[in-house]
Amino acid sequence: MEKVLEVKNLKKSYKKNKAVDGLSFDLYRGEILGILGPNGAGKSTTINILSTILKKDEGEIKYFGEELEKNLKQIKQNLGVVPQDLAIYEDISAYKNIEFFASLYGIKKEELKNAVEEALKFVGLEERKDDKPKTYSGGMKRRLNIAIAIAHKPKILILDEPTVGIDPQSRNHILSSIQKLRKEGTTVIYTTHYMEEIEEIADRVIIMDHRQENSRGNN
Parallel, antiparallel, or unpaired: how do β-strands 17-28 and 3-14 relate?
antiparallel
Instruction: Please pick, from the candidates 5, 7, 21, 45, the single residue that binds ligand ADP as defined by CB under 6 A.
Output: 45
- Binding region for ligand ADP (CB under 6 A) out of 11-19, 21-29, 149-157, 211-219: 11-19
Parallel, antiparallel, or unpaired: how do β-strands 58-63 and 66-67 relate?
antiparallel
3-state secondary structure 54-100: CCCCEEEEEECCEEHHHHHHHHHHCEEEECCCCCCCCCCCHHHHHHH
Site for ligand ADP in 133-152 (CB under 6 A): none
Residue 212 interacting with ligand ADP (CB under 6 A): no
- Binding region for ligand ADP (CB under 6 A) out of 38-46, 95-103, 114-122, 144-152: 38-46
Instruction: Please pick, from the candidates 1, 16, 39, 127, the single residue that binds ligand ADP as defined by CB under 6 A.
Output: 39
Cα angle 111, 117, 121 (rounded to 5 degrees) comes to 145
The number of residues that bind ligand ADP (CB under 6 A) is: 11
Instruction: Please pick, from the candidates 4, 30, 36, 44, the single residue that binds ligand ADP as defined by CB under 6 A.
Output: 44
Element (H, E) at 77: helix 72-77
Q: In what order do the strands lie in the sheet with 3-14?
A: 17-28, 3-14, 58-63, 66-67
Cα angle 184, 192, 158 (rounded to 5 degrees) comes to 40
- Binding region for ligand ADP (CB under 6 A) out of 13-21, 75-83, 118-126, 127-135: 13-21
Question: Minimum distance from CB of 49 to ligand ADP (Å)?
Answer: 10
- Interface residues with ligand ADP (CB under 6 A) are 14, 17, 19, 37, 39-45
